[in-house]
Amino acid sequence: MSVHLLVDFGSTYTKLTAVDTEKEVIVGTSRAMTTVRTDVLEGFDMALEKLQKAHPDMGEITTISACSSAAGGLKMAAIGLVEELTAEAAKRACLGAGALVNHVFSHHLSKKEIKTLKQADVDIILLAGGTDGGNKECILHNAKKLAEAKLGIPIIVAGNKDAADEIDELFEKSEEEYYIVDNVMPKLKKLNVAPAKDVIRRIFITKIIEGKGIKKAEEKIGEIIMPTPEAVLQAAELLSKGHEEVEGYGDMMVIDIGGATTDVHTIGEGSPKRTEVILKGLQEPFAKRTVEGDLGVRYSANALLSLVKPYEFKKYYENGDEEATDEDIEEAMQRRHDNVDYLPENDQEKAFDKALARICCDYSMSRHVGTVEVVYTPLGNMYYQTGKDLTEIQYVVGTGGVLINNAGAKQILKEVLHKSHKKLELRPKDSEFLIDELYILSAMGLLGQKHPRLALKLLKRHLK
């Protein structure tokens, strides 16, 4: 027997999944609190002990792969020229690599913006600007400002190639850590995020996890190969596309509702479904991820109140306490923000969590899907489509604690579907819902790096 152990160092829990690669089964899963403040291996050892206790006959662990989102995950800043073009392309490259993007700057960086960067908690900066052969004045200006600022943060340059040599000299002199890769938008509206994503991952593996106190885990468990959100995206892509002759599930969506953020991943072109629809804006990545930093059921719970007023909240609060006052609702949200490992104890609290999850689902969907807009032309009605048309998505997969530990999870996921009062949003119309009951998506993304066929098989078996 040979066991491949998949590890996910999360911000709250360290989660283990053991896969027997010969018998092709998941032996078991376990979890323990993440311990980045002391020694990250303490949490890992505890989880492993639990796993081995529960499965004493588990074979020898031959390989370990890990992903991490501990200590706040990977935080990036994206810089571009035009907000809707290269700045957006840079942001998408960061998101696709599993990062949280808290700062996006466009045009010339000002002193104030440099100051913001200095004070911000940023792990990597992605600098773009100009198509190949296009504007290079702006990216040169920004590179110069960054070089002068001496931020001590790795900088990835993925802009107009005509500016690459000058930027190379600039950063060489300033002794900043920098990487020059292919342009994220080589031609107008054409997206090319793969080269930037590769470097982000490389920096993450070699540098970032060290600063976050996870590096020492490597001695014992081998390489930490990617940020957790990227592992989830990879699992989704594998399940969607299939592997060699084994067919996948086709276009799909994954919603991951966490305590602090809600991630939405979609795999599919999302191109217009009708001839009178014209696509606008930057090209969409085939595997697209968006992250909502203000949507979550614990740490971000109190932030939900700025989106949903208490009276609106009641629309999402099915079978809940009908007499709950506005203060009760605010208090319940605050309690969740203050205790991120809070678990609901009674039916009412469970209903409340469900309501929060439904809000996260609904709002994250509004921000992820494309929209249509009617244009009245002399030739009749035409439509602009911005973003992805997801009306024909076949499967929606739900993951994250609040969905996994919830009997009504599929009911919550129905919030993603087409809504009559949000008619212009291109939401899925008629999808099947699957729940990641064993919480294995990120683990399968990791396993898929070496054993794609097995990972695909296990995904199909365990997503229900």
Partner 1 sequence: MHTVVIGVIGADVHAVGIRIIEHVLRKHGFNVVNIGVLSSQEDFINAAIETNAKAILVSSLYGHGEMDCKYMKENCEEAGLSHVKLYVGGNIVVGKQDFKDVEQRFKKMGFDRVYPPGTDIEEAVEHIKEDLNTA
**Contacts to partner 1 by CB under 8 A:** 81-82, 84-86, 130-131, 133-137, 185, 187-188, 278, 280, 375-379, 382, 384
DSSP conformation letters of 78-97: EE-SSTTTHHHHHHHHHHHT
8 A C-beta contact, residue 296 and residue 360: yes
Q: How far is CA 464 from the centre of its chain?
A: 22
We find the least distance from the C-beta atom of residue 86 to partner 1, in angstroms, to be 6
Nearer to partner 1, 183 or 431 (CB): 183
Q: Measured between alpha carbons, how far is 253 from 285 in angstroms, rounded to an integer?
A: 14
Nearer to partner 1, 131 or 266 (CB): 131
- By C-alpha distance, which of 206, 193, 212, 204 is closest to 39? 212
We find the least distance from the C-beta atom of residue 78 to partner 1, in angstroms, to be 15
DSSP conformation letters of 234-297: HHHHHHHHEETTEE---SEEEEEE-SS-EEEEEES----SSTTEEEESSPPPSEEEEEETT--S
We find the least distance from the C-beta atom of residue 427 to partner 1, in angstroms, to be 23
Q: Measured between alpha carbons, how far is 399 from 45 in angstroms, rounded to an integer?
A: 25
Tokens 């994220």 appear where? 184
We find the least distance from the C-beta atom of residue 189 to partner 1, in angstroms, to be 8
We find the least distance from the C-beta atom of residue 136 to partner 1, in angstroms, to be 7
Nearer to partner 1, 280 or 457 (CB): 280
- By C-alpha distance, which of 428, 326, 426 is closest to 385? 426
Nearer to partner 1, 119 or 381 (CB): 381
Which tokens go with 29?
Answer: 């899963």
We find the least distance from the C-beta atom of residue 185 to partner 1, in angstroms, to be 7
Amino acid at 383: Y
Phi and psi of 295, rounded to 5°? -115, 110
We find the least distance from the C-beta atom of residue 198 to partner 1, in angstroms, to be 23
**Rg of the chain over CA atoms, in angstroms?**
23
Nearer to partner 1, 107 or 367 (CB): 107
Nearer to partner 1, 80 or 401 (CB): 80
Nearer to partner 1, 86 or 442 (CB): 86
